[in-house]
């Protein structure tokens, strides 16, 4: 690795940019309902898919007391691919026993004396989640939407996506919103809190009906609660007791009252998405903002975010490893923080914000 060509990690904090996002179907496949060059809104359904559902295996030879498995075909009232209702006759012996469907679903397979049914799968709608243009459709796989807006990418999400208006918590904090005093503004909102999430925060979320929560951090003991929360939860910093960085606070305060999509992706190895909030920001003039440059090597002057959450600009890229206070000797970068302080941090620990 040479410093002239160090490619940093990317975690966007952009007030206006071109955003391209894929909306992919699960590996069970599905049907895409939009065409290329179609304009879509935040809540538009762009595809339908089904969740996997279990099979029911019936030993028909035994039930109908048949001599041979091949005798079953002649007794079938429904055939593979047919829809069936619970209680519907599937097969019947002449003047004899009836085989009744125990489920509503479809008949999948008849063979070797067995009948296999599958319960009706739950249909799942896939929403666009962005106001933009469909620029690519790959049937059976997903679509790509292009939009303009502001984007903030965080560290962790509870695997939910929601669309709502960005609101900032009251000065006294989310926890002090009284449960009996319903705040109509918060219903259906994405609420920003500068404080660590506590159990009561998630309880207030449920009581007040806000559908999204953006917070700096959360105690690890609340992960299960957050996964069951009624809306999307995004952590900007991570787990433990960490404060939200000033740049994130400023960004979110500037977005107060705007509509946005909180896509709280649960991070996973090779997940090509990060948890993020994308906010609709009206474009001014005719100039369109460019897409983030994700192919550029790190340079002096680049805006970066440190592991601690602090934000600054690169002022130097030392060419040899630097001895840290903890004894490690690693490649580092010197960053001037917003407050003017200069710090040396491992190169691997910074995120490029652009």
Partner 1 sequence: MSISRSTSILAVDFGNVNTRSILIDLVDGVYTLVAQAQEKTTAGFPHGDVGVGFVRVLTQLSVNTGRRLISNEGRVISPEQSDRTGVDLFLATATIGRPLRTILMGLFGEISIASGKRAASGTYVDILETISLGENRTLEDQLNAITLARPDLIFITGGTEGGAEEPVLELAQMARMALRLMPKGVKPSVLYAGNSAIIPQIHELFDKLTGIFIADNVRPTPERESLESAQKSLAQAYNAFTEKRGLGFDVIAEMSAIGVVPSAQSYQTIVDYLGRSVRGGILAVDIGSAVSTMSASVKRYTATSIRTDIGLGHSANVILNAVPISAIREWLPFQATDDEITAYTLNKSLRPATIPETVRDVYFEHALLRASMRTLLRDSRPTWTPDTALDNLNTPMPYFERIIGAGAALTGTGQPMLTAMLLLDAFQPAGVIRLQADPHGLIPALGALAYIIPEAVVQVLDGRSLEDLGMAVSLSGIPRKGRAACRVRVTDERGEVTTHNIMGGTIVSIPLPLGVAANIQVSASGGVSINGKRRLKIDVIGGTAGIIIDARGRALPLERSVRGLAGQLPAWYEQATGVKHAIPDEWLSGALPETSKVEEPAAQKPRRGRRKKAEEAAVEEPILSVTGDPQAEAPPKRRGRRGQAAEAPPPPETKGEDIDDLRNLFS
**Using CB under 8 A as the criterion, which residues of the chain lie in contact with partner 1 when the complex forms?**
1-2, 5, 7, 9-10, 27-29, 52, 54-57, 108-109, 112, 114, 116, 118, 140, 155-156, 219-221, 238-240, 267, 269-274, 292, 294-295, 307-308, 321, 323-330, 345-346, 348-349
In the complex with partner 1, the residue whose CB is nearer, 257 or 307, is: 307
Please, how many CA atoms are within 13 Å of residue 161, restricted to the half-sphere of its CB?
A: 17
Q: Tokens in use for 298? A: 């790190």
Distance CA 311, CA 306 (A): 6
In the complex with partner 1, the residue whose CB is nearer, 186 or 333, is: 333
Neighbours of 263 (CB within 10 A): 26
In the complex with partner 1, the residue whose CB is nearer, 29 or 87, is: 29
Least distance between partner 1 and beta carbon 202 (Å): 17
In the complex with partner 1, the residue whose CB is nearer, 186 or 278, is: 278
Least distance between partner 1 and beta carbon 21 (Å): 11
In the complex with partner 1, the residue whose CB is nearer, 68 or 95, is: 68
In the complex with partner 1, the residue whose CB is nearer, 43 or 139, is: 139
Alpha carbon distances (Å) from 75 to 67, 242, 269: 13, 68, 51
335-339: long-range contacts at Cβ-Cβ below 8 A with a sequence spacing of 24 or more? Answer: 335/304, 335/306, 336/312, 337/310, 337/311, 337/312, 338/246, 338/247, 338/310, 338/311, 338/312
The widest CA-to-CA distance across the chain, in whole angstroms, is 92
Distance CA 266, CA 223 (A): 11
User: In which element (H, E) is residue 133 found?
Assistant: strand 132-138
Distance CA 85, CA 52 (A): 19
Distance CA 130, CA 67 (A): 60
In the complex with partner 1, the residue whose CB is nearer, 164 or 309, is: 309
Least distance between partner 1 and beta carbon 300 (Å): 20
Least distance between partner 1 and beta carbon 273 (Å): 6
In the complex with partner 1, the residue whose CB is nearer, 34 or 103, is: 103
Least distance between partner 1 and beta carbon 177 (Å): 26
Least distance between partner 1 and beta carbon 200 (Å): 18
Least distance between partner 1 and beta carbon 256 (Å): 27
Least distance between partner 1 and beta carbon 84 (Å): 16
Instruction: Write the burial class of residue 141 (CB in 10 Å: 0-12 exposed, 13-18 middle, 19+ buried).
Output: middle
Distance CA 299, CA 8 (A): 10
């Amino acid at each position: 690795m040479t410093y002239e060509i160090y490619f940093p990690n990317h975690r966007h904090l952009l007030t206006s940019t071109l955003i391209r996002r894929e909306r992919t179907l699960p590996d069970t496949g599905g049907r895409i309902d939009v065409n290329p060059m179609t304009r879509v809104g935040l809540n538009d359904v762009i595809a339908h898919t089904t969740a996997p559902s279990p099979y029911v295996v019936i030993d028909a030879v035994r039930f109908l007391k048949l001599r041979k498995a091949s005798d079953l075909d002649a007794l079938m009232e429904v055939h593979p691919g047919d829809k069936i209702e619970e209680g519907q006759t599937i097969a019947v012996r002449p003047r004899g026993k009836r085989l009744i469907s125990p489920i509503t679903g479809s008949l999948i397979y008849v063979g070797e004396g067995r009948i296999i049914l599958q319960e009706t799968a739950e249909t799942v709608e896939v929403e666009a989640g962005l106001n933009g243009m469909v620029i690519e459709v790959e049937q059976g796989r997903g679509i790509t939407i292009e939009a303009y807006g502001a984007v903030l990418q965080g560290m962790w999400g509870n695997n939910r996506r929601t669309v709502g208006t960005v609101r900032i918590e009251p000065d006294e904090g989310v926890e002090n919103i009284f449960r009996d005093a319903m705040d109509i503004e918060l219903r259906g909102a994405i609420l920003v809190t500068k404080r660590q999430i506590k159990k009561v925060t998630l309880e207030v979320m449920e009581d007040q009906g806000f559908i999204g929560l953006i917070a700096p951090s959360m105690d690890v003991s609340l992960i299960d609660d957050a996964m069951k929360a009624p809306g999307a939860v995004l952590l900007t910093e991570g787990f433990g007791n960490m404060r939200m960085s000033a740049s994130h606070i400023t960004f979110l305060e500037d977005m107060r009252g705007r509509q946005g999509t909180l896509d709280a992706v649960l991070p996973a190895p090779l997940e090509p998405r990060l948890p993020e909030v994308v906010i609709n920001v009206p474009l001014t003039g005719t100039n369109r903002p460019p897409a983030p440059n994700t192919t550029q090597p790190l340079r002096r002057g680049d805006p970066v975010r440190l592991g601690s959450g602090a934000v600054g600009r690169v002022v130097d890229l030392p060419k040899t490893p630097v001895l840290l206070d903890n004894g490690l000797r690693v490649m580092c970068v010197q960053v001037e923080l917003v407050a003017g302080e200069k710090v040396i941090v491992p190169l691997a620990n910074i995120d490029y914000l652009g």
